[in-house]
Structure 1
Amino acid sequence: MTTNRTQAIAGAVAAIRQYTERVPQVGIILGSGLSQLVDHIQDAVVVPYTAIPGFAPSAVPGHRGELVLGELGGVSVLAMRGRFHFYEGYAMDEVTLPVHVMRALGADILIVTNAAGGLNANWQVGDLMRISDHIFMPGMAGFHPLRGHNDDTLGPRFPAMLNAYDPELGAMAKAAAERAGATLREGVYAMLAGPSFETGAEMNYLRGVGVDAVGMSTAPETIVARYRGMRVLGISLITNIAHPDAPPANHEEVLEAGETAKPMFSALITDVLSQIAAYGK
């Protein structure tokens, strides 16, 4: 797919345009247990992944497998109700195709969310964390979404990743949390390949190199968004405590934490969108 990336993007865009001509300003990727935000989108048009070439059906619990285009917080949005994961066997090109498609449809901002294990000893299940930076472990090992031929019409061969997560959008998220009376943590996110949860030694290693939360997504999507010139806001929901002495993690508690955080998460993202609408950014 790498050498045919432009064709893949065009095919997906054409399929979506069969459903709607809406031009989104903001793309939203919703992680495990967080898809309820879609219920608040107005004038919604739903496009199942099965109708879009190159989009894989989602097989992970908590991921519905559909695009929803409409308006939220006064902004035209495109939300992914479920994402594709590297651990499901998809190549990084396939995992990140939706970000290319969002950009091609008109979006210049990406809000990417995930469920994550909390490594910071001072945090609790249910906390929200603004991602200030990330460590992309699979990418460091060579599994990178931009590996292979580069199409200069899409982005530069060697895109910079300093300040990948936009400080201005981060300030909007902080202000939104304050208005909601919620605590918004800030920290470094690390992506591991999955699907197994971390060993005790891996938890200690990640904590030792300054990681606050760990998960199995987000980093490749952020990289492609920045490659395409999009600004990125990343939000993690801490769904379990990643500590060698804590009970073993499981996917059911991830979904349960998402359900509990539903009102706070929806309020935060909607407020950020309202700020984007107000300031035209």
Structure 2
Amino acid sequence: MKIFEALKWASSYLQEHKREEFAAELLLRHVLNISRSELIIQFREELDQDSFCIFEKYVKLHAEGTPVQYIMGYEEFYGRKFKVNSEVLIPRPETEELVEGAMTRIKKLFLKERKLTFADIGTGSGAIAVTLALEVPFLEVTATDISLPSLQVAKENAAQLGANSIRFIQGDLLSPFLETQERFDVILSNPPYIPESDEEGMSDIVTKHEPHRALFAGNDGLVIYKRLCDQLPFVLKEQSLVGFEVGAGQSGAVSSILKNTFPNAKVEVVYDINGKDRMVFAEIGFCQNG
């Protein structure tokens, strides 16, 4: 069988099972360990039987609902490959925008390259913490998660990508820092924010495979933001930055929660590349003039 024939079969098979056809190309490139341009060049070459057997297995796994990223074992985030498995949420492109927005504000708000303390709450795969540790070397990075298996994945990603200075702590949201009375310059979180009532209308690729604890948050999706904002005043420095990823349509409610907690803060809603309200930032303790 030639490569283009294998790809044609897989695309049709996935389409029949109501899956995205583009997954076929991703999986074949993964099996052959080649780029898209290399795949195109080799389109009419023979696909050896061993490679086809692996490819067929992967295609059928995805047709059954297993996310492509879990099959391949990684997802790209901010130009780096992060290990993922069923213990962690698959990093999304929208979260790259949270990281980008945080970096822009860190450079704007704080003295150039002075040491800053930063915490990523609910780190999952470690995508936010590792990326910021590598992109902003003057940050002292701490990453927390309630799940030990998630933290293990994050630690492996940090080691693999060379972010060796990150401190990993198991704990529920900000509780570890309430105990130690630590305070931070910057806190980011991409918490669970999907209302439980939304589960029925979601893809089974997400609901049956990604960890529920990383997706769903009560009836309105706001419960974690409320808990975080109850704790934030006790773990932030006088001048600080907070950034949350939010579900589309939640920015008004999350902004209100932050404003109630920090009445004098500059609270800003930021829209993602698709025009959806996706991030809320709070600049606390800074002069608002100009």
- Give TM class, smaller chain: under 0.3
State TM-score, norm by structure 1: 0.27
Q: Which has the higher contact order (CA 8 A, sep 6+)?
A: 1
Larger Rg: 2
Structure with bigger helix share is 2
State TM-score, norm by structure 2: 0.27
Structure with bigger strand share is 1
